Amino acid sequence: MSFVTIELNRMMIVRLLFMVLVTYSCSTSESHLYEFDPRTLVENKISLADIADDIEYIHLDNTLPLGNIYTYRLIDCSIYLSTKDIGIMEFNRDGKFIRKIGALGRGPGEYHYFWFFDIDPQTKSVYVLDFNMIKVYSGSGHFQRSISLKEFDQDYFDNISFFNEKLLITNDIHRGQSKYSWIILDTNGILIKKKYNPIPTFNSTLESKEGTYLFDNKIFYWEWYNDTVYSILPDLSYKASFLFSPGEHRWPKSMIQISATEAFISLLTNHMQIKLIFETDRFLVIAYGYKKNFIAMIDKKSKKSYLTTLVQDNNGQTHGGIFNNIDGGIGFQPERYFVENNREYIIALVDPSELKTHIESNEFAEVAPKYPEKKEKLKELSKSIKETDNPILMLVKLKK
């Protein structure tokens, strides 16, 4: 046997051993990741006073009737909202209306689709995702420029996040196909990195959903058909953070027509739909539908699960939430997380009509919260609002 042959065989053996090692190390790493499985969660109870020590209510003023709110952001001293009939607006932290950001429309400098947007916390520039275009506005609300996404050969993207001075543009698997999971651009629109969707194209009439959240200087990405929730680091490398457990409970690759009402309702009921995910120092929080609607809070150290069941009305709105024994107010449905002055907060928008109805109920009259003085303060708030008012932002301060 020649020296060349021996050397080639040695190189092949080394390469094979390396591949085995990499495969083993990846599988070993993933085997230690937490798997979220709604079928196995234990319904332990938790109250707001168990995790928080204060609540603040911010009444958004009625300068403009907000109507249907798509999404919102808290950045420093400002609250930004995108609303169906008005567009994107800025309020201060007292709830006072400050300005509109840009304008609705199809003309130059206007936005037509504005469900998702994000803010540069330093410059306060607003980045609005408008199908396959990003519209950029100054902190004072004036149009600055557009960034085209047409070169990426995708009809539209679903979400935009400002992260580490860059723009993360993400996508779900719409009706069985998507070219990318995400792309990352600088603020001038120059491509820095992209991740192709790992799920092969399939035939489906169903929508999917994806989302991102920020925690611990990382941004996380999840999607209904993907088993893996990824964390993206400031250097733009990424790794698996936790998993969705496989099984028949997962969102199906289905051709069910929406017109087949009973079949479609059954589909929704019997398959897991992730509504939102975020983390705090202590908890992984997941709102989802499976048989019923739930808020799951998973203790990240012990993996103990706490479940809150929500009730859905005929309009698809959910009611209830984590039992509020801080001031006796309505149940809390956490929607977002942020940190301010080294304190953690979870927040939600509250309907004033629902809040007033609760405060006028026998249930509220009989409840004995942990902080009776906060109950009295909540009564005073109820007297100053009308059922037709704009929503109220509920900020819950978590315990240290």
Q: Which 8-state DSSP code applies to residue 236?
A: S
Number of domains in the chain: 1
Using only the alpha carbons of the chain, give its radius of gyration.
Answer: 24
Whether 3 is in a domain gets the answer no
In one letter, which amino acid is 9? N
Report in angstroms the alpha-carbon separations of 286 from 217, 268, 394. Answer: 20, 17, 19
Helix (H, G, I), strand (E, B) or coil at 60: coil
Note the pLDDT of residue 8. Answer: 42
Note the pLDDT of residue 255. Answer: 81
Whether 11 is in a domain gets the answer no
Q: Strand pairing of 283-290 and 273-279?
A: antiparallel
Whether 28 is in a domain gets the answer no
Whether 221 is in a domain gets the answer yes
In one letter, which amino acid is 351? D
Which residues contact residue 58 at a Cβ distance below 8 angstroms, ignoring those fewer than 6 apart?
A: 79, 93, 94, 95, 392, 393, 394, 395
Whether 388 is in a domain gets the answer yes
Domain extent for 108: 37-398
Note the pLDDT of residue 259. Answer: 65
Is 163 within 8 Å of 232 (Cβ atoms)? yes
Whether 88 is in a domain gets the answer yes
**CA separation for the pair 335, 278 (Å, rounded):** 8
List the helix and strand counts (H, then E) for the chain.
Answer: 6, 26
In one letter, which amino acid is 395? L
Domain harbouring 309, CATH code: 2.120.10.30
First-last CA distance in the chain:
70
Could you list the pLDDT tens digit for every one of the 400 residues in the chain? 554 444 445 545 545 444 444 444 444 445 689 999 999 998 899 999 999 999 999 999 999 999 899 999 999 889 999 999 999 999 999 999 999 999 999 999 999 999 999 999 999 999 999 989 999 999 999 999 999 999 998 888 999 999 999 999 999 999 999 999 999 999 999 999 999 999 999 999 888 999 999 999 999 999 999 999 999 999 999 999 999 999 999 999 988 766 667 777 777 889 999 999 999 999 999 999 999 999 999 999 999 999 999 988 777 778 899 999 999 999 999 999 999 999 999 999 999 999 999 999 999 999 999 999 999 999 999 999 999 999 999 999 999 8
Report in angstroms the alpha-carbon separations of 367 from 55, 57, 329, 371. Answer: 17, 19, 9, 11
> What is the secondary structure of 113-174 as a DSSP string?
--S-EEE-TTT--EEEEETTEEEEE-TTS-EEEEEE-GGG--S---EEEEETTEEEEE---B
Whether 148 is in a domain gets the answer yes
Whether 99 is in a domain gets the answer yes
**Vertex 89, ends 85 and 94: CA angle to 5°?**
125
